[in-house]
Structure 1
Amino acid sequence: MDCYTYILKCSDDTLYTGWTNDLAKRIKTHNAGRGARYTRGRLPVKLLYYEIFSTKQAAQKREAQIKKLSRREKLLLIKNS
């Protein structure tokens, strides 16, 4: 089963990073207001970037790495994908 690490752009122009094993369903969940608490007040969200991994652990590890990046570094990652 594929797992994904993703970056969303929120309506207030902030970025949110997460992981999931069903990317399309997760984006719908976020936009329905049932996703992460952070995104609930910042709807709608738009998918800007994602990476695919073969394990949950790898996706979670990458999520943690991306969350440590500055906004500028995240935008460069998105731009260079």
Structure 2
Amino acid sequence: MDRIPAVYIVASKRIGTLYTGVTSDLPGRIYQHRTGMLEGFTKRHGCKRLVWFEVHEEMEPAIIREKQIKKWNRDWKIRLVEENNPTWRDLAEDWGFDPLEDVDV
């Protein structure tokens, strides 16, 4: 399988806790978030809903973009999500992931 660098945002719920990350295997990483395989921030805060992502041709620009977004304030991140996904739909469902239980969506 080809590796495709991507920057992504997962959320705990609509306008909930947000986490920005970077990976070369977005479906695999979302699986890890959803199953709780990754210890740390996303597991503690229940960030499992893929609400935004951006694909890059190479990993280096993806890492630069992730660092840029991580420095943004919360309102800017919310605006980024809502410009592309105003309902905060779980985009991972497009890849066959089961729907998450809606919490304040």
TM-score of the superposed pair, with normalisation by structure 1: 0.89
Hey, what's the Cα distance between the residues in 2 that align with 1:36 and 1:62?
Answer: 23
Which aligned runs of 4 or more in structure 1 are off by greater than 6 angstroms? none
Number of equivalences: 81
Cross-structure match for 2:103: none
Q: 1:71 aligns with which of 71, 74, 84?
A: 74
Q: Share of identical aligned residues, percent?
A: 34
User: Which one has the bigger strand percentage?
Assistant: 1
Label 1:18 to 1:44 Cα distance change in 2 as closer, same or farther (>3 A): closer
- Any gaps of 5 or more consecutive residues in structure 2? 85-105
**What TM-score results when the alignment is normalised by the length of structure 2?**
0.70
Structure with higher Rg: it is 2
Aligned partner of 1:4 in structure 2 is 6
CA RMSD of aligned residues (A): 1.7
Alignment of 1:1-81 (within 5 A): 1-10=3-12, 13-35=16-38, 37-43=40-46, 45-81=48-84
Gaps of 5+ in 1: none
